[in-house]
Amino acid sequence: MPRRTDIETILIIGSGPIVIGQACEFDYSGTQACRSLKEEGYRVVLINSNPATIMTDPIMADAIYLKPLTVESIMEICEKEKIDAVLPTMGGQTGLNLARDLFHRGYWEKNNIDIIGVDIAAIDITEDRQQFRDLMEKIGIDQCRSRTAKSLLDAKEITEELGGLPVVIRPSFTMGGMGGGIIWNEDEFERKILRGLELSPVHEVLIEESIFGWKEFELELLRDNNDNVVIICSIENMDPCGVHTGDSVTVAPSQTLPDEHLQKLRDAAIRMMRSIGTFAGGCNVQFAVEPETHRLVAIEINPRVSRSSALASKATGYPIAKIATKLAVGYNLDELKNQITGTTSACFEPTLDYVVVKVPRFNFDKFPGSDEELSTQMKAVGEVMAIGRTFPEALNKAWQGMETGHSGLGADGFEEFDRKTVRDRLLKPYWDRSLQIRNAFKLGASVEEINDITSVDPWFLQQIRYMVSLENRTEGQQLKSITKEDFNELKQAGYADKQIAWLLSQSGGKTITEEAVRKQRLKLGLKPVFRVVDTCGGEFPAETPYYYSTYEQQNESIVTDKPKVLILGSGPNRIGQGIEFDYSCVHAVLAAKQMGYETIMINCNPETVSTDFDVADKLYFEPVFWERVMDIWEHEKPEGVILQVGGQTALKLARRFHEGGFKIFGTPFEMMDLAEDRGKFSKLLEELEIPFPDYGMATNFEEAKKVAKEVGYPVLIRPSYVLGGQGMRIAIKEDELEEYVSAILKTHPENAFLIDHYLEGAVEVDFDSIYDGEQLHEAGIMQHIEPAGVHSGDSTAVLPPYSLSDKAIETLRDYQLRIAKKMQVKGFINVQYAVKGDDVFVLEANPRATRTIPFIAKATGRPESQIGVKVMLGSKLKEFDLTSTLKHYAIKEPVFPFDKFPEVKKELGPEMKSTGETIYFLEDFNDEHFRKPYEFKNLYLSR
Amino acid sequence: MTNSSLQTAWLALSDGTIQQGKLIGRPGTTGGELCFNTSMTGYQEIFTDPSYVGQLMMMTYPHIGNYGVHPDYDEARRPMVSGVIVRAFSEEYSNHQADGSLQQYLYHHGITGITGVDTRSLVRHIRDKGVMNAVISSEISDAKELVAKAKQWASMEGLELATKATRSEAQTMASEENLFKVAVIDYGVKQSILKNLISRGCTLRVFPAKATFEEINEWNPDGFFLSNGPGDPRAITYTTATVGRIMADGRPVFGICLGHQLMALSQGIPVEKMFVGHRGANQPVKNMITGLVEITTQNHGFGIHESAVNEDKAEISHVNLNDGTVEGLRFRKANAFSVQYHPEACPGPHDSRYLFDEFTERMKAAQ
């Protein structure tokens, strides 16, 4: 059946601010949905409160509402826009819950609005544990034994029934598995049950037989109106059951299931999807498989696109959200083409001739005291995906993209471990499990031993042991004496030159550098080839420029003779560096394309829009890791690189680009470097006669004490070269200072740290602008409601300022221009100020696209990211229309993950803790969106 | 085990392409038509599929051997491929139910294979140049000699191979329910096809490929099944008369793969050698009667072109969505239907098993 003609205007509900469990994967799916519907000529109306999304860009939809995600907003929009249908499956649990709420109120029916892409009755079943159980029983799908408890007493009885602890608990209707987990012992039973009951909006908790240690699998499905179902991807969790899939290391395709059992999963998944209503769209099913018997139990089914479907799309090349949207408006799978090959059918099951590994990224460092043990409640804030021809290659590459300082799975200097710590760390699931498995092999543990402790499938362990055997073979060798064959084997297993250098330096001789390894490697003729992600294992030619690197013979990425720009993405999401940078990356691509460049994107975050295969002219799904970036540079030979849109990830590589003589577009490297160097920057401010808080540098406590006395308490102390205020603290007296200094020295041992006088009672201001050498474009001045000392990412910011004096604003503008000029800025320049009355002090300057650029773009209706990038590439500001559409005020409201870390107190300070933000448009200051944060502005300020 | 501890082996294609890798299975030299399979699981089912007699099987998925081997996954009593080619062989495995490793299995059955070769570049090579012969050797390292050997290897076109895959004597396999008697003509039948028939109440008598119609008819079956098998269907001339008689008989006939091709030939529908062939477990096939799509397992290098199917000879019941090739026929002048693909799967999706039900329904209707 072709597209429906009885509907014209379709509403898409977004997922709102980034929170743990619901991140920018929904911007990816929402963006695909918008484009997919517009391609078909529908009128698209969109609601999302998250300003940092691509989906809320004017080009994505016909009408965009940056409004709070509430039923009231949706009803208001429906009345105004004459909505014919609503597509609620692209906005995660938030979108679905809103649609469901309105469904139960009878709103959709009353207003004659079709719900497409999902069956609400189906959602009700899948979200209600008992109903789901009953249904599964009816269709003959095995499950873990379980029952729902409505009280603590219930819970005790049910636990008895199931044969006692451990049991798994799952509160009904919570997002990202919130409140869920394993109860191991009596001590925690009462507390965890009560919390679960409280968190569940219907005050129900499912208590379940523990399948801890079983193998876990996921299948991603698509179904059309004709009831055709295809499996797009199978995913195996390396972490066995007990760890939320979002917190697990996962691998695609499944590795350890014989076909017989994989087909059982497939059959069961199809039966399950067909049993839950009659909708056309995407669906995710999770299974557990008992390793000894291969007994298969269904865990859950999610009838919508998800984090896993984003991963599956990037892993296979199959654009799930895009196709799911087409199915929702009436197409059948056999009427659509496979967009990767361009010639074959979309109604097929992708086959991979490579291995995909996803490793989650955590931010426990931001929440001291939080429980780091992984469980069924998701705690990861982001993830890295890597593609390799083999599991070892993909696993090493994933760790190269993590930006945790690692150069792969170990062999990179994080080598201080002993048998006991490794064993302790393996007894329970933690974020670094795969690293610790590697360490255990390094210490001589056996596959059986590690399997016994962790239940990780022996196949994965065998692969990691193989990696360690390569390491052991390499240690003690001379660089020049490694044979080409052995060298190639290391590279094929994903080892970075840096890891090889580290291994070769272990023999006690002289230290071998990464550069020396690279040189020797190239001398041996070993360089990577680039392979196409083609959905079909090479069976058909593919049109899509989506590549990964590997060490084999035939290169598939053909270099054109067009001028090229390399754009570095921002890697895994984490607190302080999230979707905002993906937004700027996408715009950088668009801007550079418009300037006539061929755009080449490098990124490793599967949740992003920038890694959609049809955004950049060429996508390299690779770690933003020096060696990998350089390999691509040498292959493509671009004119230059854009580093200023990829957050700290990309900026960290600036020095190496500069020293290697590679062109960086925009502001000169020296000036970017100067901005990071407090000493040099202060000198520049002194020259400009611009005031800044007293500060000093120190490398140990004695020095720190002296500096603190000089600048005067309270002081702000932080390591240099960090983003998101990592490790930053306010100390009001000497003993606190000592505590913080020792903490910093532990986490950042090589870093000098800065001690600033903390300006009490000052107002903080963020000033984003673009400078082209002649003219300064004032993108936006944002005044924070919370006092200076609360990280700018965590504060509620108002654009334009609401209480600054005219004189102060005039001074801000004057300083901003002088700084931009002096720093020879070409492109973005953000300066943060503290304002006390009419006095303005400079806190720091960032000559790059900041977290607030997308917020300002949405508030003003100006494509600030594109303007900035075009200026970097040589455009002048006078070529742009710079008028703002902002009528009154826009307010940026942060969102925090404290509900995920119940053991951590809510307190705000110089270290950023928020995961996301929303935008809200104010008319006056009586609005509670202003009044409330204003009232509470001092409440959470801490150190 | 690292690569350097394995013995070196070579792969040479008849067009001169050479790759060096490491030996797996038994040391030696072997050759055949180089084909590839895109199924990500089910290596044991594939290696033991009798349709692959005379072929070197290259798996596009890199990790092969991960879950060892198990007798249930044998489609024949031993591997039927001439050799195997993989990118990253798992000598060790993980599977509580497995009998042993794939390495032990290949060694035991005398199969020579190679690992560590750039399989993807070879797939792309064949895709562009068409299928060709190749040899794998752990003994010969001289490139010229290897290529010469590959060139000399008999071409699949015109090759009769069913006699190498069939059985020597007829054999009865009883079904407990015993609802129907099905005569299976074994050109290299897969075990899972027999299992699918037996589980539907069919008692089978499996006849060698050269069985005559009289021999078969003597058993008085309710229906006939023409199996899959290796080689060029046009070369299996000894069975032409038998197939013709079966098709003219009036009792239900069902054919899979080679059987499908033989049935088509018997009705005057020509069969051609394909440029690359279909081998994998993800091929979309549309059932033109129901409009539903099945994801199918396929394994064929010969096929029927749409234009060759005359409206009065057969109806095209199934079509491949990727390239429009004929996947299923309902014959006008016979109580017969057939598919080019493998509804028994093994490995692959079970979407098409309804065809076995259709066969039993036809027999029921005829009873």
Residue B157 lies inside a defined structural domain of this protein: no
B141 and B200 part of one domain? no
Report if residue B350 sits inside a domain: yes
Which pLDDT score is estimated for A601?
Answer: 98
- b/e per residue A348-370 (b: at least 16 CB within 10 A): bbbbbbbbbbbbbbbbbebbeeb
d(CA A389, CA A531): 10
Domain identity same for B174 and B269:
yes
Give the relative orientation of helices A734-747 and A701-711 as an angle to the nearest 10 degrees.
Answer: 130
Tell whether the model's pLDDT for residue A722 goes beyond 90. Answer: no
- Catalytic residue, from B35, B202, B257, B346: name it: B257
Is B109 an annotated catalytic residue? Answer: no
Structural domain containing residue A79:
9-116
Among B35, B278, B344, B346, the one annotated catalytic? B344
Q: Which of B105, B123, B152 is the last residue of a domain?
A: B152
Asked whether A173 and A200 are in contact (CB, 8 A), the reply is yes
Whether B199 and B310 share a structural domain: yes
- Do A204 and A222 lie in one domain? The reply is no
Higher pLDDT, A752 or A474: A474
Could you tell me if residue A562 is inside a domain?
A: yes
Number of domains in chain B: 2
**DSSP, res B298:** E
Has residue A476 been placed in a domain?
A: no
- pLDDT given for residue A43 in this prediction: 97
Instruction: Mark yes or no for CB contact B90/A462 under 8 Å.
Output: yes
Same-domain check for residues B198 and B232: yes
Q: Are residues A328 and A273 in the same domain?
A: yes
Domain hosting B19: range is 3-152
What is the count of structural domains for chain A?
Answer: 6
Same domain, B256 and B116: no
In the annotation, is B344 catalytic? yes
Which chain B residues touch A267 with a CB distance below 8 Å? Answer: 350
Q: Of the candidates A294, A321, A350, which is a domain's last residue? A: A350
Q: Is the pLDDT of residue A356 over 90?
A: yes
Residue B3 has pLDDT above 80, yes or no: no
CA distance A388 to A394: 4
- Give the single-character DSSP code of A904: S
DSSP H or E segment with residue A489: helix A484-492
Are A731 and A793 in the same domain?
no
Q: Are residues A340 and A294 in the same domain?
A: yes
Q: What gap in Å lies between CA A753 and CA A721, rounded to an integer?
A: 9
DSSP bridge pairs for B315: B330
- A124-175 pLDDT, tens digit each: 888 887 788 899 999 999 998 888 999 999 999 999 998 888 898 989 888 7
Q: Domain check: are A775 and A887 in the same one?
A: yes
Question: What ipTM score was computed for the predicted complex, to two decimals?
Answer: 0.96
Q: In what order do the strands lie in the sheet with B336-339?
A: B171-173, B202-208, B180-186, B223-226, B253-256, B336-339, B326-331, B314-320, B272-287, B293-303
* Same structural domain, A769 and A910: yes
Give the CATH number for residue B312.
3.40.50.880
State the pLDDT at residue A662.
96
Q: In terms of domains, do A722 and A774 share one?
A: no
Residues B178 and B117 in one domain: no
Which three-class secondary structure state does DSSP give residue A382?
A: strand
Q: Does A555 reside within a domain? A: yes
Q: Give the C-alpha distances (Å, rounded to integers) separating A81 from A13, A85, A854.
A: 14, 11, 25
Q: Show the tokens assigned to B12.
A: 């040479």
Which residue from B62, B92, B345 is facing A390, i.e. has the nearest CB?
A: B62
The distance from CA A605 to its chain's CA centroid, rounded to whole angstroms, is 6
Q: Among all chains, which residue has been given the structure tokens 């008989």?
A: B249
Chosen domain end from B152, B179, B202 = B152
Which residue is closest to B8 within chain A, CA to CA?
Answer: A485
Q: For residue A832, tell me if it sits in a domain.
A: yes
Which of A265, A327, A539, A555 best tests the B interface by mutation, with the highest count of B CBs <10 A? A539
A225 and A343 part of one domain: yes
User: Does A733 map to a domain?
Assistant: yes
Strands A715-719 and A729-731: antiparallel
A513-540 pLDDT per residue, tens: 999 999 999 999 999 999 999 999 999 9
CATH number of the domain enclosing A249:
3.30.470.20
Mean pLDDT of A292-296: 93
CB distance A351–B124 less than 8 Å? Answer: no
Select from A351, A391, A458 the Cβ nearest to the Cβ of B282.
Answer: A351
Q: Is B177 a catalytic residue?
A: no
Question: Do A198 and A249 lie in a common domain?
Answer: no
- Whether A102 is covered by a domain: the verdict is yes
**pLDDT for position A724:** 59
Contact B61 A291 (CB under 8 A): no
Provide the chain A residues 435-464 that lie in CB contact (below 8 A) with chain B. Answer: 457-459, 462
Q: Measured between alpha carbons, how far is A730 from A789 in angstroms, rounded to an integer?
A: 8
A161 & A243 share domain = no
Q: Do A537 and B280 touch (CB under 8 A)?
A: yes
**β-bridge partners, A920:** A891
Res A556 pLDDT > 60: yes
Mean pLDDT (chain A) is: 93
- For B23-68, give the DSSP string: EEESSSEEEEEEEEE--SS-HHHHHT-GGGTTEEEEESSSEESTT-
Residue A685's identity, in one-letter code, is: L
Nearest chain A residue to B295 by CA distance is A348
A124 vs B102: which has the higher pLDDT = B102
Given a contact cutoff of 8 angstroms between Cβ atoms, the answer to whether A614 and A628 are in contact is no
Q: Which of B88, B96, B276 sits opposite A390 (nearest CB)?
A: B88
The reply to whether A718 and A784 lie within a common domain is no
Same domain, B282 and B308: yes
Among the candidates A100, A116, A132, a domain finishes at A116
In this structure, the answer to whether residues B231 and B213 fall within a common structural domain is yes
Q: Which chain A residues in 230-259 lie under 8 Å from chain B, judged by CB atoms?
A: 230-231, 253-259
The band of B281, judged by pLDDT with boundaries at 50, 70 and 90, is very high
The pLDDT confidence band at residue B1, using thresholds 50, 70 and 90, is low
Does A585 map to a domain? Answer: yes
| End residue of a domain, out of B152, B175, B195 | B152
d(CA B36, CA B55): 10
Mean pLDDT of B345-367: 96
A745 and A767 assigned to the same domain: no
Residues of A in contact with B42 (CB under 8 A): 258-259
Provide the CATH number for the domain around residue A730. 3.30.1490.20
The last residue of one of the domains, among A350, A383, A418, is A350
Lowest average pLDDT, out of A731-740, B46-55, B110-119, B130-139, goes to: A731-740
Model pLDDT for residues A190-239, shown as the tens digit of each residue: 999 999 999 988 899 989 888 889 999 999 999 999 999 999 999 999 99
Residues B235 and B330 in one domain: yes
Tell me if A797 sits within 8 A of A782, measured CB to CB.
yes
For A848-866, the pLDDT digits (tens) are: 999 999 999 999 999 999 9
Checking if the pLDDT of A593 tops 80, the result is yes
